[in-house]
Structure 1
Amino acid sequence: MEQNKKIAPFLNSEGKITQLPQKSSVRFAVLEVLAQKFEPERSYTEREVNDICEASHTFGDYFLIRRELIDCGLLCRKADGSSYWKAKTE
């Protein structure tokens, strides 16, 4: 519940990310919301990842969103970028 209050200012009424928070813990929480849109144990192409990221924010920088998901460990990819998948969570 407390977490929802922290991330609410960064999501619009449709649940799209309007900006990335500066504070890393809140940023991670916002990115976790986006990571839920990826199915576990499914492989995605870069195009599919880009499309999901593009549809999930309002500021037109899906490259940043994709990179943040990977840097935060929420999304994994092959070194050549040919395949992406949701990271396993405990």
Structure 2
Amino acid sequence: MTSHPSRPAADSRSVADLFSADGRLKAIPRRPARREALLAHLTATLFEDGRDYREPEINEALLTVHEDFSALRRYLVIGGFLARTKDGSAYRRQQQPGSPGGAIPAVA
């Protein structure tokens, strides 16, 4: 086995490896660590901090990278990357992934 000089950036490399040349996600990773790295990347690149999104907006953004937008949306909420109001009417990018419950207080 040979050592690769780019190994210290393994996280960003692994995320880049998940995408095809056209920018589409090849598959949603099964391994939790790789999936979490992907979710963090998607959150940072697709969603603005401090902004509320309606579900169709979340779906549209996720469709730009993969057809299974509902699975990605679910992983983002369960993983604490996106918070959803209890009534499901709004989503918001979380400050810190992993917040318990995955819900934010009611949005006006």
Structure 1: where are the runs of 5+ without partners? none
Q: Which has the higher contact order (CA 8 A, sep 6+)?
A: 1
Confirm or deny that 1:70 pairs with 2:77: yes
Equivalent residue, structure 1, for 2:13: 5
Name which one, 1 or 2, has greater alpha-carbon Rg. 2
TM-score with structure 1 setting the length:
0.87
CA RMSD of aligned residues (A): 1.5
TM-score with structure 2 setting the length:
0.74
Runs of 4+ in 1 over 3 A off after TM superposition: none
Structure 2: where are the runs of 5+ without partners? 1-8, 98-108
- Structure 1 residue 2 displacement after superposition: 1.4
Work out the percentage of aligned pairs sharing the same amino acid. Answer: 30
Confirm or deny that 1:44 pairs with 2:50: no
- Structure 1 residue 8 displacement after superposition: 3.0
Cα distance per residue 1:11-61 (max 9 Å; x no partner): 12243322111110111001111111100000000110110011122xx21
